[in-house]
A and B are shown apart, each in its own frame.
Chain A
Amino acid sequence: MRWLLSFLFLGLLGVAQALSASGNRLLVVLEELDDKSKYSKYFGDLEGRGFQITYESPKSESVGLFTLGERAYEHLLILPSKSKGLGPNLTPKILLEFINKGGNILLTLSAITPTPTALVSLLLELDIHLPTERNALVVDHFNYDTLSASEKHDVVLLPRPDTIRPGVKNFFKGDGKGGEVIAFPRGVGQSLGNTSPLLTPVLRAPRTAYSYNPKDEAESLEDVFAAGPQLSLVTTMQARNSARFTVVGSAEMLEDGWFTGEVKRSVGMGGVGTDAKKVKTCNQAFAKEITGWAFQEIGVLKVGKIEHRLNEGVRSNITNPKIYRVKNDVEYSIELSEWSWDKWVPFTPVAEDVVQLEFSMLSPFHRLDLAASGTTTNSTVFTTSFKLPDQHGIFNFKVNYKRPFLTNVEEKNTVTVRHFAHDEYPRSWVISGAWPWIAGIAATITGWLGFVALWLWSKPVPLKLTTSGKKIQ
């Protein structure tokens, strides 16, 4: 009976975790609860993926991210609100604490409702800069939707984003066929600080786009906040604890209208799109990917078994010994899985990327590429063999795998590396330079035995005298 119960319990656990690697409690903060209907498809998708959504207004007394000091939700979605701040329960400090405790935040902005100053200061702390004008808007006179924004050009149409740089996994390219169009209506562009490796833009503005203040529409633009790909439309930040913070520049792109809407692109640079047809936006699929990433449904890594062992010709059966000797040949393997929507799958790094092992004492002595040596149903085993350095001390096998869009893997296994014992050095006959000396000893011994025999048993030879009287034998 008990085993049945525990089985049931396990099953329930499985169901409860079958959507995000971190949990399924989602708090949606939106000003007017009636606005919910505008995003019905988006919320429907989220519920369909198993999220338990709680809707709260920032003005509500009951809204709180923590209960008894623990996170009450795993995920937070903030939709634009007109008020200046988000109230005493959602101050930047509380939001940062939520991230520090591992909570994920998806923040949406809108050019129609100015971003609350509290959120602007929170973004500033993360080195994400918003235009100083509170109504700033992204326009592109080359890539706009001619159906809905033929005059204002403020519905920017973009293709699916490319990989940011080689060696970074692209979770947002859809099926990769191309030709899909993302509509970005009336959004706020962000410019990112260059120093933080935690920030990664997902969707960058086209070359010809720029951000401007609609109040100065009559005048020509001379002071540009940011233009072209320097303007990030969807930005991600993954904290060191792998909590995710995502900024979507246009909340409107998540609305039902844009999930199903049709758009027709304008004539772009070099005459592209002169004979553009009406196409359906791929906002729904893109929103799923962005939200999935933000709420840790994709790109979450898990470490399985870590094994290291002696492998000097024959693989030792003793795994993870505490001590090795200098110059030992050692094999190391680590098992990695990746969470993909609802299951763990074997993790494979993209081309030009590789999982690396460091063997370090203070600083790495060896940094080696790990090669995939096998896969199980839900993990890949990465292995390498190497000779330990010629230095004794306390060393770490360290896998420090930090990549944009993937949760951080930092695994450290400490071992002692001892020096040679007195009888472990190579013997003198192995050293060719010692051969004359060994031959010398052999010659001395033979000579000594011969001398002893002569001393004991030699018979004197009678002396002969030469004619000159000298003695000869």
Chain B
Amino acid sequence: MRFFSSSVFSSVLLVAAGVAEAASSWNFDEAIISVQSKGAGNGLKDKLSDHVPLAKPVTFGPTDALKIVLTATEGGKAKRPHQAFLLLRDQDTGLEATLPFSVKETGKGKVDFTQKDLPPQLLTSSQPLRATLLIASFGPSQAFSNHVFDLDVQTDPSAPLPPYEKPLRYGKLAEIHHIFKADAKSGPKIFSLFFALAVLATVPILFGAWAYLGANVDHLAKATKTAPIAHTLFFGAIATMEGIFFMYYTSWNLFQTLPVAGVVGLVAFLSGSKALSEVQSRRLAGER
């Protein structure tokens, strides 16, 4: 309603200006718009007004042909203007197509078009196209321009739209963050922790079972008395070997590990033969 009143107001202004300058102005009479569907009978037919656009948008289907016939006038008399254009504007992008009328000497003009005559960009507009009529010519007469109707383009949903590829323009591009393979992920820590504890719990179970079955270290005093150096070194070497493995796991490289492991291994071999002879002597003595 607001638009309506403002357009009336501006057309009043236009008239006022025309009067003030005492110059005639361009206009039209009897503009008839008709939409003819192929095959189907008569479509829409309506009269265009020079100051208010049609109330309802004109529906324009894929097989429809739209035709506008009008008589251009200058100062009330029919006359041929130099410029008689119908502009169709995409209200999303502001892109506008120009459709010139073919006007006869008498001022009678005609324009007709189908969807094929429109640029493909206009067919995909989300809003109805805004149709503006321009009638103008050289000389002092005031030119005519007004919004005459809205055109609701309906494309055939079954037929593909004419191909339209956005042309290359320099500008900023979308960001890219490409990752080939995401980092491996472990399961929930609580499960790992549970099973780690379950595994560790087997150690006390094992020791407990041995103790239940009567395992003991009662011969330790005897053994260390008979072959103190051999036993200490042998057991120490085995424990140190585990320590070497631990160092290899955490920080050492192979070249640090091997010499130390060699020395400890030799110690274990030499002291082991002595310690195990002592064990054998106990067995032979019937103490095992």
Pairwise interchain contact A432-B175, C-beta atoms closer than 8 A: no
Pairwise interchain contact A153-B138, C-beta atoms closer than 8 A: yes
- Of B170, B180, B186, B234, which contacts A389 at CB under 8 A? B180
A44 to chain B, nearest CB (A): 35
A16 within 8 A of B: no
How far apart sit A446 and B167, CA to CA, in the bound complex (Å)? 72
Q: Whose C-beta in chain A lies nearest to the C-beta of B134?
A: A208
How far apart sit A151 and B179, CA to CA, in the bound complex (Å)? 67
Pairwise interchain contact B186-A431, C-beta atoms closer than 8 A: yes
How far apart sit A447 and B176, CA to CA, in the bound complex (Å)? 54
Pairwise interchain contact B172-A354, C-beta atoms closer than 8 A: yes
> Binary interface profile of B, 214-242, with partner A (CB < 8 Å = 1, else 0)?
11111110010000000100110011001
Interface residues of B in 170-195 (CB under 8 A from A): 170-181, 184, 186-187, 189, 192-193, 195
Pairwise interchain contact B176-A440, C-beta atoms closer than 8 A: no
> Binary interface profile of A, 413-457, with partner B (CB < 8 Å = 1, else 0)?
000000000000000000111111011101101111110111111
| Contact residues in A for B11 (Cβ distance below 8 Å) | 271
Pairwise interchain contact A457-B217, C-beta atoms closer than 8 A: yes
> Binary interface profile of A, 79-114, with partner B (CB < 8 Å = 1, else 0)?
000000000000000000000000000000000000
B140 within 8 A of A: yes
B82 within 8 A of A: yes
Pairwise interchain contact B85-A353, C-beta atoms closer than 8 A: no
How far apart sit A139 and B140, CA to CA, in the bound complex (Å)? 14
B213 within 8 A of A: yes
| Contact residues in A for B214 (Cβ distance below 8 Å) | 461, 473
Given A141-B143, A368-B175, A456-B279, do A221 and B83 touch, yes or no (CB 8 Å)? yes
How far apart sit A165 and B167, CA to CA, in the bound complex (Å)? 14
B139 within 8 A of A: yes
Given A208-B145, A389-B178, do A142 and B217 touch, yes or no (CB 8 Å)? no
B103 within 8 A of A: yes
How far apart sit A151 and B141, CA to CA, in the bound complex (Å)? 9
Pairwise interchain contact B218-A473, C-beta atoms closer than 8 A: no
Q: Chain B interface: which of A283-291, A301-309, A359-367?
A: A359-367
- Of A194, A217, A403, A404, which contacts B138 at CB under 8 A? A217
A328 to chain B, nearest CB (A): 14
How far apart sit A271 and B20, CA to CA, in the bound complex (Å)? 13
Q: Chain A interface: which of B39-47, B55-63, B150-158, B199-207?
A: B199-207
Interface residues of A in 193-221 (CB under 8 A from B): 194-195, 197, 207-208, 210, 212, 217, 220-221
A337 to chain B, nearest CB (A): 20
Pairwise interchain contact B170-A228, C-beta atoms closer than 8 A: no
Given A227-B85, A449-B239, do A366 and B178 touch, yes or no (CB 8 Å)? yes
B84 within 8 A of A: yes
Q: Chain A: how many interface residues by the 8 Å CB criterion?
A: 78
| Contact residues in A for B167 (Cβ distance below 8 Å) | 194-195, 197
Pairwise interchain contact B96-A229, C-beta atoms closer than 8 A: yes
Pairwise interchain contact A447-B171, C-beta atoms closer than 8 A: no
B98 within 8 A of A: yes
B179 to chain A, nearest CB (A): 6
Pairwise interchain contact B207-A450, C-beta atoms closer than 8 A: yes
A411 within 8 A of B: no
- Of A165, A438, A445, which contacts B242 at CB under 8 A? A445
Pairwise interchain contact B81-A220, C-beta atoms closer than 8 A: yes
How far apart sit A352 and B173, CA to CA, in the bound complex (Å)? 11
Q: Whose C-beta in chain A lies nearest to the C-beta of B239?
A: A449
> Binary interface profile of B, 269-288, with partner A (CB < 8 Å = 1, else 0)?
00000010001000000011
A317 within 8 A of B: no
How far apart sit A473 and B17, CA to CA, in the bound complex (Å)? 126
A52 within 8 A of B: no
Given A354-B172, A365-B178, do A271 and B14 touch, yes or no (CB 8 Å)? yes
Pairwise interchain contact A404-B145, C-beta atoms closer than 8 A: no
How far apart sit A369 and B173, CA to CA, in the bound complex (Å)? 9
How far apart sit A439 and B132, CA to CA, in the bound complex (Å)? 82
A391 within 8 A of B: yes
B2 within 8 A of A: no
| Contact residues in B for A433 (Cβ distance below 8 Å) | 186-187, 192
Q: Whose C-beta in chain B lies nearest to the C-beta of A274?
A: B17
B37 within 8 A of A: no
| Contact residues in B for A178 (Cβ distance below 8 Å) | none
Q: Whose C-beta in chain A lies nearest to the C-beta of B184?
A: A431
| Contact residues in B for A36 (Cβ distance below 8 Å) | none
How far apart sit A150 and B167, CA to CA, in the bound complex (Å)? 40
Which of A266, A369, A458 has the largest number of chain B CB atoms within 10 A?
A458
How far apart sit A228 and B200, CA to CA, in the bound complex (Å)? 84
Pairwise interchain contact B210-A391, C-beta atoms closer than 8 A: no
Pairwise interchain contact A221-B138, C-beta atoms closer than 8 A: no
> Binary interface profile of B, 76-115, with partner A (CB < 8 Å = 1, else 0)?
0000111111010000000010101111000001000000
Pairwise interchain contact B200-A443, C-beta atoms closer than 8 A: yes
Pairwise interchain contact A221-B196, C-beta atoms closer than 8 A: no
Pairwise interchain contact B142-A267, C-beta atoms closer than 8 A: yes
| Contact residues in B for A35 (Cβ distance below 8 Å) | none
Pairwise interchain contact B175-A458, C-beta atoms closer than 8 A: no
| Contact residues in A for B175 (Cβ distance below 8 Å) | 356, 367-369
Given A153-B138, A367-B174, do A224 and B215 touch, yes or no (CB 8 Å)? no
Pairwise interchain contact B242-A449, C-beta atoms closer than 8 A: yes
A353 to chain B, nearest CB (A): 6
How far apart sit A450 and B211, CA to CA, in the bound complex (Å)? 11
- Of A153, A197, A227, A439, which contacts B168 at CB under 8 A? A197
Beyond A224-B100, A433-B187, A436-B195, list 4 extra A-B contacts (CB 8 Å). Answer: A358-B176, A368-B177, A455-B279, A457-B223
Could you tell me which B residues sit within 8 Å of A by CB distance?
10-11, 13-14, 17, 80-85, 87, 96, 98, 100-103, 109, 132, 134, 136-140, 142-143, 145, 167-181, 184, 186-187, 189, 192-193, 195-200, 202-203, 206-207, 210, 213-220, 223, 231, 234-235, 238-239, 242, 275, 279, 287-288
Could you tell me which A residues sit within 8 Å of B by CB distance?
139, 141-142, 150-153, 165, 167-168, 194-195, 197, 207-208, 210, 212, 217, 220-224, 227-230, 266-267, 269-271, 274, 352-354, 356, 358, 364-369, 389-391, 402-404, 431-436, 438-440, 442-443, 445-450, 452-461, 473
| 13 examples of A-B residue contacts, CB within 8 angstroms | A142-B145, A165-B171, A208-B83, A208-B134, A224-B100, A356-B173, A365-B176, A368-B177, A390-B180, A435-B195, A436-B195, A442-B200, A459-B216
